[in-house]
Amino acid sequence: MANRLRLAIASTAAAVLLAAVAPAQAGKERLRTVTAGEKPILVQDSVRRIPQRRQGAIAPIPPADLSRIGPPQPNLPSEFIPIPDRWRLVDSLGVKVNFWDPYNQNTLKADRPLPGTQDFFFNLAVISDTVIEPRRLPTPISPNSTQKPGSNDTFGEGEQLFYLQNLVVSLSFLQGDTAYRPPDIEFRFTPVFNFSRAEVEELAVLRRNPAEGTVRNDVHVGIQEAFFDYHLRNVSSRFDFDSFRIGIQPFSTDFRGFLFQDNQLGFRLFGNRDNNLFQYNIGYFRRLEKDTNSGLNDFGEEIRKDEFFIANLYLQDLPRLGFVSQFTILHNRNDEDSEFFFNKNGFIERPASFGDERLHKYNVTYLGYNGDGRVGRAQLTTSFYYAIGEDNHSQLNGNLIDDNADIRAYFFAAEPSFDFDWIRVRGSFLLASGDSDPFDNRQEGFSALFENPQFAGGDTSFWIRQGIPLIGGGGVQLTQRNGVLAELRSSKEHGQSNFNNPGIVLVGLGTDFDVTPELRISTNFNNLRFEDTSNLQVLRNQGEIAEEIGWDISAAVIWRPLFIQNIVMRLSGAALVPGPGFKDLFATSQDGDDEILYSILANGTLTF
């Protein structure tokens, strides 16, 4: 079991990294934190899928774990987490201790207690994550000056190159019998050292000031984990338990990161019952400000006036064996209506430069159901949220006498998949409601707290990976980097949720080919549409905006040269074939010719 702990730690760190993928569109590169919840699940998945999946293979019974989340998306590198089998090895087998070898008995990896103690362990994980990301995005010509003469129009040259290097160092100190039950105490501290570089072809894209040019280098150190975890008690002989965790910790509201998946400051009580048939979380989080370009937590800024309460319950084998159901209620209270906030690059974030640009605040409650597991031969993940709340001032309706707005929005996603020997076929469907009348007192566009969707190809997909500025429609993003929703918020990292948005409908088909144990190829075909373009039409004062965004076509190759998770290379490429709605909004090149919008991601992770 020691290994399980270690794994959890390592995998968390790995996920932090992996996520740490690149930057954002114009002006906002950021780290993506895939850090969702605890990772034992990842372990389970690893066992299931690596080595090669075989038809009829029996999935091991999930380990007892608290904040269990479901299997990760099949093509995420984060699933390639070291298999925890070192614990089987014992000194008597003649294994030599080598501090540089994470794959054998190692005190630095919590395989052995610290010298002179019986139950104090230390776990170190170091991960290097490198991203090189060429892409082409719709890019505006700076309104106040240009990079080159002859720039007579609104849309400029869209070639961009993003480079990112993260170094994650996770330090964990824990006490307990790590072999047969959860540890009693854990302190964990995970700083992430980030360097990013972005190159674009137009001015005022990376920073508001055009004088700062078309290249931006930035460094940041973020604290992505800093928590204390205390095992309160065991409530059964099978180690069902209650624990709490306080501090900056990873948390995910659902299996795929649709509503919230981030490392944030909070307090969480969690545990399980009835031989792990029930698991629960009760938590309170107050969001830290993010660093603009890395997406990591930023302690140089005041803590945000944004908090949420969460309670959820996981039920194993509901409605049938092998399927986990989760019920959740989350209440988000945002009180950011007192001062303007500008990001590090000089762009306004709160309130968004949108509508009447007046400060506002909102309360919204999300009621959710999430499911994940097997249904016969199929795997199924599903998610449903209903958002109900109130915005104290609608930025769009312009009604001075009654500017309050009710929030009523919904979200649904499902991804069934089927295995055929070494091939997995996935179907993806996602619907986020859109607002149908920007001038009424209802906001019907679904907006999340902090999405990080591992869905429909995840960051392999163009639409999910890239942030696209709503050129001509305000200082907001049509879609966020590492997001699937068309939320029209200033940014995922700094901005408020925005329920005045066009919504989105995604229908996709994907396949994963486990060509060899060390090589996987994945493909994704997604069709994207806006649910309702009324808001977009008003924002751009443009009557003709079709619903179809287009086809998002992508493929990824994942290579683990040594069959282990410690070295993982990924290369993916995606292209957006613009549909009428996209063409109504953007030009894809300066000369008016249709250029393919693409997103290439070269990613290497090295893990100790």
Partner 1 sequence: MTGRLGFLGVVLALVMASVGAHAQVSQQALTAAEVGQIISRSVQEAQARNVAATISVVDRVGNVLAVFQMTGATGKLRVTSGKGIVRTNGLEEVQDTFTNLGANGSPTTRLGAIAKAITGAYLSSSGNAFTTRTASQIIQEHFNPGESFSPSGPLFGVQFSQLPCSDLSVRQATNGVPTGLVDPTAGPKRSPLGLSADPGGLPLYKAGVVVGGVGIEINGVYTIDPTVADQDSSVEEIVALAGQFGFQPPDDIRANRIFVEGKSLRYIDQDVNVLASSPASAPAFVNGTGGNLVAVNGYYAGGGPLAGTAYGNPESGFATDPNGDYSGVGGVVFVLFNGANPPVARFRPRDSINPTVAGGGLTTAEVRQIIRSALTVAFASRAQIRRPLSSQVQVTVSVVDGVGNILGMARTFDGPLFGTDVSLQKARTATLFSNTNAGTYLGTFSSTVGGTPAAQNANGVTIADYVTAVRRVLGSNALQDGVAFADRSGGNLSRPYLPDGIIGAGNGPFSYPIATWSPFNTGLQLDVVLDNIAAHVLFADVGGANNDTGANCTGFTATAGTLISRISNGFQIFPGSVPIYRNGVVIGGIGVSGDGIDQDDMVSFLGLHNAGLVLGTGLGNAPPARRADQLSAPGGFLRYVNCPFKPFLGSRQNNVCHGK
Q: In the bound complex, what is the minimum distance in angstroms from residue 584's beta carbon to partner 1?
A: 6
Joined together, the tokens standing for residue 81 give: 């987490």
Q: In the bound complex, what is the minimum distance in angstroms from residue 464's beta carbon to partner 1?
A: 23
Question: Which residues, other chains included, contact 145 with Cβ-Cβ below 8 Å and sequence gap of 6+?
Answer: 203, 204, 210
Q: Which is nearer to partner 1, 60 or 143 (CB)?
A: 143
Answer yes or no whether residue 335 interacts with partner 1 by CB under 8 A.
no
Among 116, 211, 321, 376, binds partner 1 (CB under 8 A): 211
Q: In the bound complex, what is the minimum distance in angstroms from residue 344's beta carbon to partner 1?
A: 12
Answer yes or no whether residue 144 interacts with partner 1 by CB under 8 A.
yes
Answer yes or no whether residue 128 interacts with partner 1 by CB under 8 A.
no
Given a contact cutoff of 8 angstroms between Cβ atoms, the answer to whether 117 and 177 are in contact is no
140 preceded by a cis bond (ω within 30 of 0): no
Binders of partner 1 among residues 230 to 249 (CB under 8 A) are none
Report how far residue 507's alpha carbon sits from residue 430's, in angstroms, rounded to the nearest whole number: 7
**Between vectors from CA 246 to CA 305 and to CA 490, what angle results, nearest 5°?**
30
Residue listed under structure tokens 């298999």: 83
Joined together, the tokens standing for residue 24 give: 């954002």
Nearest to 582 by CA among 540, 538, 528, 517: 528
Answer yes or no whether residue 146 interacts with partner 1 by CB under 8 A.
yes
Given a contact cutoff of 8 angstroms between Cβ atoms, the answer to whether 460 and 470 are in contact is no
Answer yes or no whether residue 206 interacts with partner 1 by CB under 8 A.
no
Binders of partner 1 among residues 476 to 505 (CB under 8 A) are 476
Among 33, 44, 147, 566, binds partner 1 (CB under 8 A): 147
Q: What is the number of other CB atoms lying within 10 angstroms of the CB of residue 244? A: 17
Q: Which is nearer to partner 1, 545 or 568 (CB)?
A: 545
Q: In the bound complex, what is the minimum distance in angstroms from residue 346's beta carbon to partner 1?
A: 5
Residue 173 in 3-state DSSP?
strand
Answer yes or no whether residue 437 interacts with partner 1 by CB under 8 A.
no
Nearest to 456 by CA among 427, 420, 435, 436: 427
**Could you tell me which stretch among 229-237, 254-262, 568-576, 587-595 binds partner 1 (CB under 8 A)?**
587-595
Answer yes or no whether residue 210 interacts with partner 1 by CB under 8 A.
yes
Report how far residue 509's alpha carbon sits from residue 430's, in angstroms, rounded to the nearest whole number: 12
Among 55, 92, 118, 152, binds partner 1 (CB under 8 A): 152
Specify the amino acid at residue 285: F
Binders of partner 1 among residues 497 to 556 (CB under 8 A) are 537-544
Distance (Å) of CA 538 to CA 51, 155, 302, 320, 502: 53, 20, 34, 47, 11
Residue 208 in 3-state DSSP?
coil
Q: In the bound complex, what is the minimum distance in angstroms from residue 158's beta carbon to partner 1?
A: 12
Binders of partner 1 among residues 260 to 319 (CB under 8 A) are none
x-or-dash pattern for partner 1, window 356-395, by CB under 8 A? Answer: xxxx-----------------------------------x
Answer yes or no whether residue 215 interacts with partner 1 by CB under 8 A.
no
Residue 140 DSSP symbol = B
Q: Which is nearer to partner 1, 104 or 392 (CB)?
A: 392
Among 355, 373, 457, 483, binds partner 1 (CB under 8 A): 355
Report how far residue 562's alpha carbon sits from residue 284's, in angstroms, rounded to the nearest whole number: 41
Q: What is the number of other CB atoms lying within 10 angstroms of the CB of residue 314? A: 25
Report how far residue 221's alpha carbon sits from residue 166's, in angstroms, rounded to the nearest whole number: 9
Answer yes or no whether residue 416 interacts with partner 1 by CB under 8 A.
no
Report how far residue 62's alpha carbon sits from residue 317's, in angstroms, rounded to the nearest whole number: 12
Answer yes or no whether residue 340 interacts with partner 1 by CB under 8 A.
yes
Size of the site for partner 1 (CB under 8 A): 64
Q: In the bound complex, what is the minimum distance in angstroms from residue 81's beta carbon to partner 1?
A: 43
DSSP symbols for 389-431: EEESS-TTT--SS---EEEEEEEEEEEEEEEETTEEEEEEEEE
Q: Which is nearer to partner 1, 165 or 542 (CB)?
A: 542
Answer yes or no whether residue 442 interacts with partner 1 by CB under 8 A.
no
468: left (phi over 0), alpha (psi -120 to 50) or beta: beta
Answer yes or no whether residue 404 interacts with partner 1 by CB under 8 A.
no
E strands, 253-320, are: 261-273, 278-286, 306-315
Answer yes or no whether residue 137 interacts with partner 1 by CB under 8 A.
no
Question: Which residues, other chains included, contact 380 with Cβ-Cβ below 8 Å and sequence gap of 6+?
Answer: 323, 371, 372, 373, 374, 414, 415, 416, 417
Q: In the bound complex, what is the minimum distance in angstroms from residue 465's beta carbon to partner 1?
A: 24
**Could you tell me which stretch among 69-77, 218-226, 249-257, 347-355 binds partner 1 (CB under 8 A)?**
347-355
Answer yes or no whether residue 321 interacts with partner 1 by CB under 8 A.
no
Answer yes or no whether residue 475 interacts with partner 1 by CB under 8 A.
yes
Report how far residue 88's alpha carbon sits from residue 4's, in angstroms, rounded to the nearest whole number: 12
Q: Which is nearer to partner 1, 395 or 428 (CB)?
A: 395
**Between vectors from CA 566 to CA 29 and to CA 45, what angle results, nearest 5°?**
90
Answer yes or no whether residue 348 interacts with partner 1 by CB under 8 A.
yes
Q: Which is nearer to partner 1, 411 or 586 (CB)?
A: 586
Q: In the bound complex, what is the minimum distance in angstroms from residue 399's beta carbon to partner 1?
A: 8
Answer yes or no whether residue 143 interacts with partner 1 by CB under 8 A.
yes
Among 342, 418, 420, 563, binds partner 1 (CB under 8 A): 342
Specify the amino acid at residue 4: R
Among 472, 521, 559, 573, binds partner 1 (CB under 8 A): 472
Site residues (vs partner 1, CB under 8 A): 141-155, 203, 208-211, 340, 342, 346-348, 351, 353-359, 395-396, 398, 400-401, 439, 470-476, 537-544, 580, 583-587, 589-592
